[in-house]
Structure 1
Amino acid sequence: MRLIHVVGARPNFVKMAPLYQELEKRSAFKQTILHTGQHFDPEMYQVFFDQFGLPKPEIELGITGGSVNDQLARMLSAIDKILSNLEPSMIVVYGDVTSTLAAALVAVRYSHLLVHVEAGLRSFDNSMPEEINRIVVDRLAHRLYVTEQSGIDHLSTEGVDPGKVVFAGNIMIDSLYRYLSKTSPVTDIEPRLSDINGYGVLTLHRPGNVDNELRLRAIMDGIARVAQQFPIVMPIHPRTRGRCNEFGIALESIEGLILRDPLSYIDMLSLVKNASVVLTDSGGVQEETAALSIPCVTIRDNTERPATITCGANRLVAPHAEAIAGAVAEALKPGSDMSVPPLWDGNTASRIADDLLQQVWAMEHACA
């Protein structure tokens, strides 16, 4: 039985790797990786596959650049041709990126079994393209694997058949636990942190934060205040660098801010696991810090991952300098209680693989 994993953005690979490896242990599937090219960094591309022990994708569409709608249109056409030729039995999509939506829309046209890993998350902010993607894909999917209780609740409210929904846990955390032992001392990643007592990590890339000049300036003013207390390492996203250049925001002039090019997964994990605090607008980083019990300050008005807040690791903060500095101070107070959310235990991929095998058994017997 042919199963196609559709991936396109960096977090997709982190989620796919443990499931691909678990399914390789079982003989029921012929697995194919389809990479749309949505996020493609030639310098990081091979490193990613080497680090995760994944084969090079059999299908590479090379669809990169352009607007979201332009990418979506090109992906729909390209994926349609692929699926019509290969006729897979199952399509697995991950998260909420444009590649996920494109594959879902095509898969249902051919009546392929559509599997959504990381289903049910909701920010209730329809200005985010990812929110629209989540809602549409969850409506189309035949099997929905949920990371936290809020996902179960949202899908129930939306009328999704509960028989399609499985609380499997967080597959991102499978990768995190698997590769923790391969991390390096932080000074190997960033020598400027030698003889430093504590540091922070900053990731910033969401259009809502970086495409608005006033908002981006306010955020970086807050970061400048925090960086007066301890260094902040910022692996800078190309979109963020471009906007800072466009708006004349001189990041290099912020004392205590250490700028880096984007890092590989394991190098980034090396930085995060030893940080005193992490500031981010990334969904995945919120989850990783929660699993590691690292204080996290999320610079957003909302989060689709409320389990990271209820477990005590994460807090939301508005994009204002004083608010950011205050949230960091609050996060660093001693005695904060943190716990890891349920089923974020490193065994999610195994649970999903077992359930998919049951789906295969049911399909085969239904056709017998």
Structure 2
Amino acid sequence: MSLKICTIVGARPQFIKAATVSRAIRKTDGLSEVMIHTGQHFDADMSDVFFSELDIPTPHHRLEIHGGGHGAMTGRMLAAIEPILIAEKPDWVVVYGDTNSTLAGSLAAAKLHIPIAHVEAGLRSFNRRMPEEVNRVLTDHLSALHLCPTQAAVDNLAGEGIRGGVHHIGDVMYDATLFAIDRASGTSGILAELAVNPKAYGVATIHRAENTDDAKSLRAVIAFLKKQAKAIPIILPLHPRTRQNAERMGVSLEGLRVIGPVGYVDMARLINGAGAVFTDSGGLQKEAYFHRVPCTTLRGETEWVETISHGWNRLWNGPDFAERRQITEYGDGRAAFRIAELLKNSR
């Protein structure tokens, strides 16, 4: 008898992570998958391109829910997900990371007594002003299976009294990066399109509310990037919300090389060829390490503390890079298959 897995995604980083696990589920006997796409990222450049590039099956359910405040968005998602779970009757609900889609899916499953598996469990910034931190803490306390990318994540859960169902499985983003590097080498022409040479440019991304929803914060981040651009051209694939806020707040992006959002394969090629990465994205901090490119995090803290301690990452307002060392706990590129096996053996 096959176990039915219901995967809930909604945002770009989740599509990338889910792609690796979906491939592993399809290759594992005794598992089947139903996918719900909440629509949190709805722009074709932020959503559809990832499904086509990463061999993700077309979602069975598309909710088209986006926009509005955190409470309104999460509530609408919760109301829409619940009847789907009732109809599908999955054995497990799998959620990823720390978005509103993650929390809504977890709440819907918990209230229906469906066990939850949380990929990237245990990550903490210890900054409760971040909505992502609230989402990940609540999801961990609702989950039955905690799929941790690092030992630090395991320790964080233990510190909150969560010890059952906790597994250090490695990082599915490493799985995804290996897949993307292989695919990009044969398909991506973005460096030629942008007329840039390897290691002669930097890549930046900005999307978090703490940097984009306040004019003073956005101006400070852009000013920092413009300062870096005096030494090396900075390519900025611009998130739609960041573009809208910059225009509304009158924040000039002149001096940066602004382009539209790019697909995951092209982004992997951009990072792989970059001399430096500047980002407020949690996932991109690790991707920079996987490509062995130094990263500066545009935040006051990071969940990926090992990237700091091992010298591949620094905070923009913190000390300079530590001495560089390899990070071993992200695994061997088979985290997704460990997840599939754990789900299979949960019966």
Return the TM-score normalized by structure 1.
0.89
Paired position in structure 2 for 1:135: 137
CA contact (8 A) 2:180 2:264 kept: no
Query: Does structure 1 residue 284 correspond to structure 2 residue 286?
Result: no
Q: Deviations over 1:156-211 (max 9, x none)?
A: 01001x23100001001101011202215986345444467611011011111122
C-alpha contact 1:307 1:341 (8 A) present in aligned 2: no
CA distance in structure 1 between the aligned counterparts of 2:142 and 2:341, rounded to whole angstroms: 22
Shift of the 112–313 alpha-carbon distance from structure 1 to 2, 3 Å rule, reads same
In the alignment, the residues of structure 2 paired with residue 196 and residue 15 of structure 1 have an alpha-carbon distance, to the nearest angstrom, of: 27
User: Is residue 121–residue 146 contact of structure 2 (8 Å, CA) maintained in 1?
Assistant: yes
C-alpha separation in 1, matches of 2:134 and 2:46: 29
2: CA distance, partners of 1:284 / 1:221: 23
**CA–CA distance in 1 between the matches of 2:212 and 2:111?**
36
Q: Which SS does the other structure have where 1:33 is aligned?
A: strand
Aligned twin of 2:339:
352
**1:217-232 alignment runs, 5 A limit:** 217-232=219-234
For 2:76 and 2:177, the matched residues in 1 are separated by 33
Question: Residue 305 in 1 paired to residue 304 in 2?
Answer: yes
More moved, 219-228 vs 229-238 = 219-228
* Aligned residues of 1:95 and 1:117 also touching (Cα < 8 A): yes
In structure 2, the CA distance between the partners of 1:43 and 1:295, relative to structure 1 (3 Å rule), is: closer
Take 1:195 and 1:117, find their aligned partners in 2: how far apart are those partners? Answer: 36
Distance 1:94 1:336 in 2: 31
CA–CA separation in structure 2 for the residues paired with 1:186 and 1:33:
28
Report the alpha carbon displacement of residue 30 of structure 1 after superposing the two structures with TM: 2.0
Q: Summarize the alignment of residues 169-318 of structure 1 with structure 2, pairs less than 5 Å apart.
A: 169-184=170-185, 188-189=190-191, 191-194=193-196, 198-251=200-253, 253-254=254-255, 257-318=256-317
The amino acid that maps onto 1:346 is G
Matches within 5 A, 1:75-224: 75-160=77-162, 162-184=163-185, 188-189=190-191, 191-194=193-196, 198-224=200-226
Distance 1:15 1:299 in 2: 22
Structure 1 residue 338 corresponds to structure 2 residue 315: no
The answer as to whether partners of 1:37 and 1:63 remain within 8 angstroms in 2 is yes
Paired residue for 2:12? Answer: 10
Identity, in percent, stands at: 38
Q: How many Å apart are 1:16 and its aligned residue?
A: 0.7
2:23 to 21, 24, 43: 21
Aligned to 1:33: 35
The aligned length equals 344
Runs (5+) with no aligned partner, structure 1: 361-368
Over 3 Å counting, the alpha-carbon distance change for 1:265 and 1:18 in structure 2 is same
Letter in 1 for 2:236: M
Equivalent AA in structure 2 for residue 173 of structure 1: Y
Check conservation: 2:279, 2:297, Cα contact below 8 A.
Answer: yes
**Greater Cα shift, 266-275 or 182-191:** 182-191
Other structure's SS at 1:88 match: coil
CA shift in 2, pair 1:191/1:338, >3 Å: farther
The answer to whether the 8 Å contact 1:187/1:194 transfers is no
Alpha-carbon distance change, 343 to 301 in structure 1, aligned in 2, over 3 angstroms: closer
Aligned-partner Cα distance in 2 for 1:44–1:38:
10
Cα RMSD of the aligned pairs, angstroms, is 1.9
TM-score, normalization: structure 2? 0.94
Task: Give the conservation status (yes or no) of the 8 Å contact 1:126–1:132.
Answer: yes
Contact 2:310 2:323 in 1 (8 A): no
Measured in 2, the distance between the counterparts of 1:196 and 1:308 equals: 23
Higher radius of gyration, 1 or 2 = 1
Deviation at 1:239, TM superposition (A): 1.5
**Cα separation, 2, equivalents of 1:187 and 1:89:** 42
Q: Give the distance between the partners of 1:127 and 1:301, measured in 2 at CA.
A: 12
Q: Is the 8 A contact 1:148 1:341 kept in 2?
A: no
**CA distance, structure 1, for counterparts of residue 79 and residue 311 of structure 2:** 44
